[in-house]
Amino acid sequence: MPSDQHALTGSTLHSTGFSSRGALIGAHLVKPHGKPRLAVVLHGATGVSQFKYLKFARGLCEREQATVLIYDYRDMGLSARGPLRNSRVSMSDWAVEDQSAALDYLIEACPGLPVWVIGHSLGGMFVNWHRQADRVARVIAIASGPAYLAHHPPTYLPAVLWFWYLGGPPLTALFGYLPGRLSGIGSDLPRDVFWQWRRWCTSKEFHRPDWGKTMPMPDLLRFKGKVRLVGINDDVMVPPTCVKLLAKFYPAAAVEYREIEPKAHGLKSIGHINVFSARCSAAWPALVDGDAAAMVSMGKAA
């Protein structure tokens, strides 16, 4: 049953949920008025609430006549269950299990529709691990890529080193989870999410050492559709250099890259998280549609 109606965008918000390896995931479907032409799952960034994506989802719903699924990873937001210090969820649980379950749910909820995946940061890197990746027509990965610490701009490197080595580890050990306010990232994170995230971002190999160990081996040839990699010019957390490196994780796909310049959309700044905020809505069509002249085809990744 609809829980909210948004007359301006011609969309209806439906509260829903699905199971991911026994965990109940809190979610919402944004549905257009009239028959949908497209189904989209929006995989969020680390620790970012589904409601941060709601206005973007409504805009996408209107422009594309799309049903859009937004949700929270397990032990976060509407999917939280019990004290966070008791959580044993890892980042690969979010990326492999929860994202795959979200895609499965969307496909079942929207039979016969073309399926897109829009992934923000963590959300854009793992489609080849998902059970029904072959059902996806298009992936749009926004500010997403293997963010090895040495690839950050020099001015941001002190903050990165503090987070991974000086602040994050003792705070996580002390509290039993990573406290978002004290660590500077805003949202509390389960401890194993932090430790796995730290291991990836402090390794040149990123998550490759975990393949076949703490996460399944991927089928890198599973997804053969279209991938758009979107870099944000002023993003210091996952800078364009890292976004371009994501192409190697989609070797069978047709990959294109585009870079968003804030001033081109009348904005002073965008950054990593705020790309989905209402103040950056002028840039939203460029994430999904864009100017063909601004695209760089990367072909099949080597």
pLDDT tens track for 110-148: 999 999 999 999 999 999 999 999 999 999 999 999 999
Reduced to 3 states (helix: H, G, I; strand: E, B; else coil), residue 108 is: helix
Assigned domain for 202 exists: no
Q: Which domain holds residue 37?
A: 2-146+217-299
Cβ pair 102, 23 in contact under 8 A: no
| 183 domain-assigned | no
The type of residue at 195 is W
Report the run of H or E that residue 240 belongs to, with start and end. Answer: helix 240-245
> What's the total number of domains in the chain?
1
Whether 174 is covered by a domain: the verdict is no
In a domain, 171, yes or no: no
DSSP state of 51: G
The one-digit pLDDT tens for each residue of the chain (302 residues) are 344 544 445 899 999 999 999 999 999 999 999 999 999 999 999 999 999 999 999 999 999 999 999 999 999 999 999 999 999 999 999 999 999 999 999 999 999 999 999 999 999 999 999 999 999 999 999 999 999 999 999 999 999 999 999 999 999 999 999 999 999 888 999 999 999 999 999 999 999 999 999 999 999 999 999 999 999 999 999 999 999 999 999 999 999 999 999 999 999 999 999 999 999 999 999 999 855 445 576 766 43
Tokens 């804030």 appear where?
262
User: Within its chain, how far is the Cα of 283 from the centroid?
Assistant: 17
pLDDT score, position 8: 44
Residue 210 lies in a domain: no
Q: What is the CATH number of the domain that holds 96?
A: 3.40.50.1820
